[in-house]
Amino acid sequence: MAIISCEAQASSMEVGVNQAPLLGGSDRIREVLAHKGSDVVTTERSCSVLDAVKHMHEQHVGSVLVVAGKTLVGIMTERDVLSRVVASNLDPATTPVEEVMTGELVLVDPWVTVADALAIVTRRRCRHLPVAEHGQLCGLVSAGDLAAWLVREQRLAIDDLYGYIVR
């Protein structure tokens, strides 16, 4: 299992010469977590895929972080279940999560910008980013969370502009 820590870096979505800034893109992941909450759903690596999927369903989430005790060792997503369990005709009741989880995680710091986080999920083709600070897990953001944040910020900017124009 490899954990890749991504510090804030130049975004592939940086403002170009003829581009408007990405509204909300300079906000920090910590702000997204403060808005959406920092709860994460976890499962032990020895848990069966069936039990983990039931837990995901109960919690209304598309992924679970996989732990061994208190150590983060991977993530299992709906995509992992489809491509590694269903497509391989494995029995989810007897297959342990650790056999089908994604072990190479990309962790981000809560001070990473939304634009940088979007660049990471785009470049790495992943939908979920665990957030950790000083080795402590402090949340999880999805591509959907990031998109919702940008839409929210753009809506606020539009409302402000509209209010300015019609005054």
Q: What is the CATH number of the domain that holds 68?
A: 3.10.580.10
Q: Which residues constitute the domain of residue 91? A: 24-166
Asked whether residue 114 is domain-assigned, the answer is yes
Asked whether residue 5 is domain-assigned, the answer is no
Question: Quick one: pLDDT band at residue 61, thresholds 50, 70, 90?
Answer: very high
The 10 Å CB-count burial string (b at 16+, else e) for 80-107 is bbeebbeeeeeebeebbbbebbbeebbb
pLDDT of residue 23: 56
Question: Quick one: pLDDT band at residue 20, thresholds 50, 70, 90?
Answer: very low
pTM of the model: 0.79
Asked whether residue 131 is domain-assigned, the answer is yes
